[in-house]
Amino acid sequence: MASSTAYLIVGFLVLATGAHAQNCPSNPSGTRCFCYQEIFGYRINCDVNYNGGTSPEVLRNTVAYYQSYGNIDTLYVYGIKQSFFNYVGDDFLAGGQISNVTFQCDHSLSVNSMLAFSVGAFTDSQGRCGLTREINFSKCNLRQFYASAFKNCNRLEKITFMSSQVEGLIDIPTLESLRNLTVFTPIVWAGATQRGLSRLTVVPGSSFPLLNYVDLTGNSLQDESVQFVSQLSNAEEIYLEGNNLATVPNLTDCFNLRQLSITLNSSSSSPILLPKPRSQIRPLHASFYSDSNAVNDVTAFDGMFLQDVVNLKLNMTMFAEEVFLDPLLESSGLTINLNPSARITCGCSIAWLVRDNPSLLSQVHSGTCADGRPFETYPLEDVSCCSTEPLMALIRRQRKEISELKALLVAN
C-alpha cells in the first residue's frame, strides 16, 4: 500500500509539473560519462580522469550533446585534476538550465593543484544563469573564487564548498532564492598558510532575503567578513565556529534565529545582541566558545528571551549585574550555562546574584568563582558586608513598575 501511494505521489508531481521521463541517448565516445533517466531529466555523471583526462571544453561539448536530447537535471563531474581540468570557461553549461551541479576534485588536499572559474562560467551569451537550484564544490583548491560567477542566479538555492580550499569568496551578488550557504573546512590543506576561507565580501547593497542557513565553520574569517549575517532577518541557523573572530556580530534583526554557535579566538570584551523582537516562539539555542588562550568578557547581553538556552562557554572573568540581571529577570525561562573552567571574580561582584536574587541561581549553571567555589554554594557571609545599593535599586524599580501598573488599571 505504501509503495502504491508513493507511485501515485510521483505520478501526481509529474502531471502537475509537466515533467516527463526522458530516454537517455547513447553515451558519447571519447568521454566517460553515464546518463541515467530520472523523473525531471537526465542525471549525467562524468569521470573526467579518463583516457588521459577530459578537458572542460570537451566536457562542455558533452553537456551540449546530452541537452540536444532532453533536459539535464543533475550534472556530477568527478576525478578533476589540474593537469587536464584547471579552468572552466564561459557558458560551461552550454546554455542549459541545470538543477544540481557538483564538481568533485582529486587535488589530494594540497594547494599544489588548483581549479579556476571564469566569472561567466554559469551564464550563457544572454547573461542568463544556468544554475537553478544548487551547486557544490568538494575537495577542490579554488583559491580566490569570484562569486560574480553567480550573477543573475536568482533561482539558486544552495551553495556549498565542502572540504575545499577557497581562500577568498569575493563579491557575492544578490541571490533572491539562496537558502543555504556553506563553506565548511574541517582540515588544513598541505602547503596552505591558513585553514580555508579568510576573506568573504558581498557586493554593496546586495541582499539574501531567503537565506536561512549559514555554515562557515572551520575557516579563518575575521570580524568584518561575517558582518553580513546581521542583515539576515530570515536566518534560522548560523554556525561560525573555528574562525578568527574577536566579537559577536549584532544579531538583533535576525528575528527567526533558533540555532547559533560561534567561537571567539582573540581576547576581547564584546556585546552579545540576540534577536529582538522574535518572529517565532521556538526556543533559541546559542553557544559561544573561547579559544583556549582567549579571555572574553560580555559587555552587554540583550534580546527577547523566552525558553532559551544560552551556552556562554567563554573564558569569562566577570558575571556582571549590569549585563545579566535584567535579561534573567525579564525572560520567561532563560537558562545560561557558563564555562565551568572559567574563573569568575566573585565576592561583592556576585552579591547581586547569590544574596539579592538567589531565585535566579536556578537559571545560571556551572558558574565558578576564581577560588573554585560554585555560585550556588557561595557562602552568604562572604557578601554580607557588600553594598546593598543593587538590592535597593531593584526594590525601587519594582515599586515603579507596580505604580505604573496601578495607574494603567485606573485609566482603564
What is the DSSP track for 27-77?
A: PPTTS-EEEEEETTEEEEEEE-SSTT---HHHHHHHHHHHHTTS-EEEEEE
Question: Is the model's pLDDT at 297 over the cut of 50?
Answer: yes
Query: Cα(198)–Cα(200) distance, rounded to whole angstroms?
Result: 7
What is the residue-averaged pLDDT of the chain? 91
Question: What backbone phi and psi angles, to 5 degrees, belong to 204?
Answer: -55, 130
Q: Which helix (H) or strand (E) holds 2?
A: helix 2-17
Amino acid at 71: N
| C-alpha cell belonging to residue 174 | 544578490
pLDDT grade, residue 279 (50/70/90)? confident
How many whole angstroms separate alpha carbon 132 and alpha carbon 92?
14
Residue pLDDT, tens place only, 307-316? 999 999 999 9
Task: Pick one of 3.80.10, 2.40.128, 3.10.20, 3.40.50 as the CATH number of 22-401.
Answer: 3.80.10
User: Quick one: DSSP state of residue 110?
Assistant: B
pLDDT computed for residue 16 by the predictor: 45
Would the pLDDT of 17 be above 50? no
Predicted local distance difference test score (pLDDT) of residue 278: 87
Q: Which pLDDT value is given to residue 18?
A: 46
41-47 and 33-38 strand pairing = antiparallel
Q: How far apart are CA 169 and CA 175, in angstroms?
A: 15
What's the pLDDT score for residue 1? 47
- Coil, strand or helix: which one is 282? coil
pLDDT greater at residue 114 or residue 12 = 114
Q: 180-184 and 158-162: which strand pairing?
A: parallel
CA 1 – CA 3 distance, rounded (Å): 5
- 39 vs 158: CA distance, rounded Å: 21
Torsion of CA 201, 206, 209, 215, to 10 degrees: -10
Percent of the chain clearing pLDDT 70 (strictly above): 91
Tens of pLDDT, residue by residue over 134-172, are: 999 999 999 999 999 999 999 999 999 999 999 999 999
Residue 13 scores a pLDDT above 90: no
319 grid coordinates: 558575571
Per-residue pLDDT reduced to its tens digit, 334-343: 999 999 999 9
At 22, is the pLDDT very low, low, confident or very high (cuts 50, 70, 90)? confident
Query: Stretch 59-80: mean pLDDT, rounded?
Result: 97
